[in-house]
Amino acid sequence: MNGKNRQVLVTGGTGFIAQHCILALLNHGYQVRTTVRSLLREAEVRENLRTGGAEPGDRLSFVTADLGSDQGWAEAAAGCAYVMHGASPTPTGDQTSEEEWIRPAVDGNLRVLRAARDAGVRRVVLTSAFGAVCAGHRPMKRPFNETDWSDLTAKNVWPYQRSKTLSERAAWDFIAREGQGLELSAINPVAVLGPVLGADYSHSIRLIRNIMDGQPGNPKINSGFVDVRDVADLHLRAMTHEAARGERFLAIAGESMWLADVAKVLKERMGPAAARVSTRVLPNVLVRLGALKDPALRGAVPLLGLNLNATSEKAMRLLDWAPRTREEAIVATAESLIRLGLLRGSGQAG
């Protein structure tokens, strides 16, 4: 392959999934360029990649680009054969409006796709989310699959889920109307676990950290889980496999689990390190009462008792994807939190 065919842009290089995508690409011999909002974070990204076992040197380069601005994206995409686009705005604070979630997500996707099209990129792999698949549906007897889209007319659809749904739809619409031959694949992961590389990690990792840190019990919440290394592997397969062109792929390892069962895995597999883990199921009424005072619990209430099982049969069949088990993902998360001193009482917990 020539140089261009080995150059890949990964957006949002400070992100958990993005950094594991960078590791996977480097391990497969690609040159990687990644975007950050500030070059001051280059050292942090490189340190996290070192934790993941990579010393990329000049095989990794950095470009400043923000999803809220056109500046930097043409430079970022120039000379790249592929783009893995996982950067996504995450507004903070209890008072953030839906517009603050949705507009940057939609506009950001379109900025990246325009830059990729104009640079002659062959394919963009979009990191979407299970939130673009499962929200707003009544309980189903079958697992969710790639034909499902979140129902935004329903109540209790979070701004995050709405933003992921609308931004992914906007991406597919762009490809259909203005893509000019640019190819698109989308990855829709459930809760992403696996080895943490640094102190800045995802909401899903906090589920495991909170259980390990001794939360008093587990709301009756159901979730699918997948290891971040397998999510990165699926991105890599979707990037080059002919069967992935124009397709969505759910990423889940096995069946979904209740949080109390996640706690049981930790209790059984982590030995003395899981001394604080509670396998108790919190009564729904207690969670609802707690949500009146605790904003962190508020989002859990609509999910109580809801089975969110999904299937990755499509990715396994079309792309020969073979993820680790959900138990392996859970244990790898806990082990990495311990290794990096990120649990309560370790001296570095945040």
Please report the domains of the chain, with CATH numbers, ordered by start residue. Answer: 4-200+224-255+308-325 (3.40.50.720)
What is the crossing angle of helices 16-27 and 42-51, to 10°? 60
Token code pair at residue 172: 């597919």
Q: Decide: 182 and 119 in contact? Cβ < 8 Å.
A: no
Give the distance from CA 281 to its chain's centroid.
Answer: 27
* pLDDT more than 90, % of the chain: 82
7-10: strand order across its sheet: 60-64, 31-36, 7-10, 82-85, 123-127, 183-189, 248-251
Q: State how far the alpha carbon of 120 is from the alpha carbons of 81, 187, 274, in Å.
A: 7, 22, 51
Indicate whether 327 pLDDT > 50.
yes
Whether the CA torsion 281, 144, 330, 290 is positive or negative: it is: negative
Indicate whether 89 pLDDT > 80.
no
Least confident of 79-93, 111-125, 176-190, 280-294: 79-93
- What is the C-alpha to C-alpha distance for residues 136 and 308, in angstroms, rounded to an integer? 11
Indicate whether 268 pLDDT > 80.
yes
Token code pair at residue 85: 């686009």
Indicate whether 186 pLDDT > 50.
yes
Q: Decide: 92 and 133 in contact? Cβ < 8 Å.
A: no
Q: What is the largest CA-CA distance in the chain?
A: 61
pLDDT of residue 139: 81
Q: Mean pLDDT, to the nearest integer, of 50-78? A: 96
Amino acid at residue number 342: L
Token code pair at residue 152: 């935004």
Indicate whether 263 pLDDT > 90.
yes
Strand partners, 281: 218
Q: Decide: 60 and 32 in contact? Cβ < 8 Å.
A: yes
Neighbours of 254 (CB within 10 A): 17
- Report phi then psi at 184, rounded to 5: -140, 135
* pLDDT more than 70, % of the chain: 95
Least confident of 121-130, 218-227, 229-238, 289-298: 289-298
- What is the C-alpha to C-alpha distance for residues 208 and 266, in angstroms, rounded to an integer? 9
Indicate whether 349 pLDDT > 60.
no
The contacts of residue 95 (CB under 8 Å, 6+ apart) are: none
Least confident of 201-205, 208-212, 343-347: 343-347
pTM for the structure as a whole: 0.95
Q: State how far the alpha carbon of 163 is from the alpha carbons of 25, 190, 252, in Å.
A: 28, 16, 21
pLDDT band at 48 (very low <50, low <70, confident <90, very high): very high
pLDDT of residue 1: 42
pLDDT of residue 92: 56
pLDDT digits (tens, 9 = 90+) for 223-247: 999 999 999 999 999 999 999 999 9
Best CA proximity match to 139, nearest among 287, 309, 262:
309
pLDDT band at 49 (very low <50, low <70, confident <90, very high): very high
Give the distance from CA 16 to its chain's centroid.
Answer: 7
Indicate whether 264 pLDDT > 60.
yes
Indicate whether 120 pLDDT > 90.
yes
Question: Coil, strand, or helix at residue 125?
Answer: strand
pLDDT of residue 240: 97
- Listed in sequence order, the DSSP H helices in the chain are 16-27, 42-51, 73-77, 98-118, 159-178, 203-212, 228-240, 259-269, 284-291, 295-298, 313-319, 326-339
Identify the residue whose tokens are 């904003």. Answer: 295
pLDDT of residue 348: 47
pLDDT of residue 346: 65
pLDDT of residue 84: 98
Amino acid at residue number 27: N
Average pLDDT of the residues of the chain: 93
Q: Would you put residue 341 in left (φ > 0), alpha (ψ -120 to 50) or beta? A: left
pLDDT of residue 305: 86
Best CA proximity match to 342, nearest among 198, 228, 150:
198
Residues acting as catalytic residues: 164
